[in-house]
Structure 1
Amino acid sequence: MEGPSSAAGLVHAARALLGADVRPLDGDSGEVFLVGVAGEEAVLRLYARDPARAAVDAALLALVRGLLPVPRVLEQRVRGTPEAPAFLLLERLPGVRLDQWLPEADADLRARAGGSVGRVLAQLAGIPFLRAGEFVGAELRIEARARSASLVDLVEDRRTRGALAALSEEDLTGLVEVARSAEDILDRGGEPRICLVHGDFDPSNLLVDPTTGEVTGVLDWELAHAGTPHTDLGALLRFESDATFAEAVLRAYAWRVPGIATNPDKADDLGALVELARAADLPALLDAAMRSDAAATAAIRLLQATARCRNLAAGRPTWP
């Protein structure tokens, strides 16, 4: 018999829970399903692997509702067992995935989408917390992380594990050099404010109205935590190549977040913001490279390019 956290076990649990057919949605977790008929669909998220996260996600969605476009929680079970997993039944939001829509959109719509995404990022940056850490329980208590390792230490820790072990000694030396440079960039940025961080602010987790470019949904909050505002911007721009979209994101974000840029219309200020965001994204990029999925392959390629270029840009665009 399949275990409750296996793919088949999750589908069985979803069907048993709702007494209806379910369709797995795209994504790596295998815990998200579409239920219902056209026009009356909802999204079922199971928490077989991490039952305690259900209460956190429900609380986060309640916290940001009205500030950000997030789904309503229609039903929930936040205390799960192997036989009856924790779950959230969520409203299905309108819109299409940003990563699928953006390549075909015209320049005007791409700019509008960028402005809307930048405003969402600024809204996240404006939700303050007193300290950084992971959320625990429905009260969103913050559990401080162990003293953060330096970026150089993170590279050294991973150099013999996972895909990083396949990099040449020369590439690893280059990666350490870039990590040291990223630390200097973050230090120059000053003591960061602590805010709500989505933790996986990727275009695949954003929905937009295809006719206006406005963001209609921010999805998948399971990595959300209290941290620095630059992290989500770095994740968004990690693989972005569209200048029209990216520049609109940066300007909308910089105009709304105090202290981010002296002059948001000045190219040098926005360029420095991109560099800061890429430095803040380096730990998440290293974590992505340790996984065993398609995202890991892309992360390893970017880290290898970073090492060989000896800079954070790694051949990526530097906007504006």
Structure 2
Amino acid sequence: MDLIGAGLEPLAGGHSGETFLAEVAGERTVVRIYAGRGATRGPEAPEVDAAVLALVRGLVPVPEVLEVRRADPESGLPGLLVTSHLDGTRLDALLPDLDDDMAAVVGDRLGRVVARLAQMPMLRAGMFVDAELRCVPMPAEARDLPTWVSTHLEGTALAAWSAEDREQLMAVAERAQQLADSVRRTCLVHSDLNPKNVLVDPDTGAVTGLVDWEFAHAGSPFSDLGNLLRFDRRPTFAEAVEAAYRTHVVDAPADLLDQARAADLWALVDLAARAGSNPVADRAHDQLLAITRTGDLHAVATG
């Protein structure tokens, strides 16, 4: 692909600054250049992302891979992934204006998609490291929530918390870890399944795309549900998501939302620790503080 003549335009919605909309001969594509945050994942990152898209294509709505280029550390050439452009409106832009009926329709459709991901089994938990989707275990600190919390308490936004809040956060993490320890299977996890990465047909409510799979891994079947419902608690939407998930995931437990909130706590802690860097991290910080002070995984920040 001729990137010089492609007229690259930064794609709205992302924080990485590595994804662009391109147009050549009237055809729109999406170009991801692994030059910043993406480069930290290693030269195989474009191939991993392309392999994940190939794995799920036809099962959930994802773009078609058009070109993939491995990074060349010797020459300094960054990795590259070019995919088709999907139609649809980002859900974060659409959801606030939906009436209750359409919010329920979108919730149902999206709950079905999340359920489908939860039923894509993986042999073991871990991160994908190559085009064969070979999986290696998470770092030790990422497999135990109290340990994960302890690694985020110093040199981060959480360092300003009171000793009482930090102690209570550890207690919340220990209870959430007990929930996580009860999970007996592993599946494919998108791991950033929030409304800005979901495309929806505004007329029908159909989910037309799941994008930005850079954090995909093998993990808990409740992680994506927790991520999706982290901030978006509108009853007509959230209840439809949960109902569709329960209908289509045969082993959905009675404490499904508890499990989902516990599974999302890893990401919430990581985001909250970066408060001040972007609005999402700021919101996560306030949410985590509300959870900590109430001891309730379902708590939301007020004000």
TM-score when scaled to structure 2?
Answer: 0.90
* Deviation for aligned residue 1:133: 0.6
Alpha-carbon distance change, 39 to 118 in structure 1, aligned in 2, over 3 angstroms? farther
AA in 2 matched with 1:122: A
Q: Give me the CA root mean square deviation.
A: 2.0
Aligned counterpart, 2:145? 151
AA in 1 matched with 2:3: L
* Deviation for aligned residue 1:207: 0.2
Query: How far apart are the structure 2 equivalents of 1:177 and 1:85?
Result: 43
* Deviation for aligned residue 1:161: 2.4
Aligned counterpart, 1:301? 286
* Deviation for aligned residue 1:19: 2.5
AA in 2 matched with 1:134: M
* Deviation for aligned residue 1:117: 0.7
AA in 2 matched with 1:62: A
Structure 2 regions of 5+ residues with no counterpart?
Answer: none
AA in 1 matched with 2:119: G
Q: Are 2:231 and 1:246 aligned? A: no
Query: How far apart are the structure 1 equivalents of 2:81 and 2:229?
Result: 30
Query: How far apart are the structure 2 equivalents of 1:162 and 1:36?
Result: 40
User: Conserved in 2, the CA contact under 8 Å of 1:199 and 1:225?
Assistant: yes
Query: How far apart are the structure 2 equivalents of 1:20 and 1:204?
Result: 24
* Deviation for aligned residue 1:143: 1.1
Alpha-carbon distance change, 39 to 19 in structure 1, aligned in 2, over 3 angstroms? closer
1:21-40 correspondence to structure 2 within 5 Å = 21-26=7-12, 27-36=14-23, 40=27
Structure 1 regions of 5+ residues with no counterpart?
Answer: 1-13, 262-268
Please point out which of 265, 268, 282 is paired with 1:282: 265
Aligned counterpart, 1:140? 133
Aligned counterpart, 2:213? 221
User: Conserved in 2, the CA contact under 8 Å of 1:173 and 1:307?
Assistant: no
Aligned counterpart, 2:108? 115
Q: State the percentage of identical aligned residues.
A: 49
Please point out which of 165, 168, 178 is paired with 1:171: 165
Query: How far apart are the structure 2 equivalents of 1:39 and 1:231?
Result: 38
* Deviation for aligned residue 1:145: 2.0
Alpha-carbon distance change, 183 to 85 in structure 1, aligned in 2, over 3 angstroms? closer
Alpha-carbon distance change, 201 to 46 in structure 1, aligned in 2, over 3 angstroms? same
1:82-104 residue CA offsets vs partner (Å, 9 max, x unmatched) = 55322111111010001110111
Q: Are 2:165 and 1:180 aligned? A: no
Query: How far apart are the structure 2 equivalents of 1:284 and 1:220?
Result: 16
* Deviation for aligned residue 1:149: 4.5
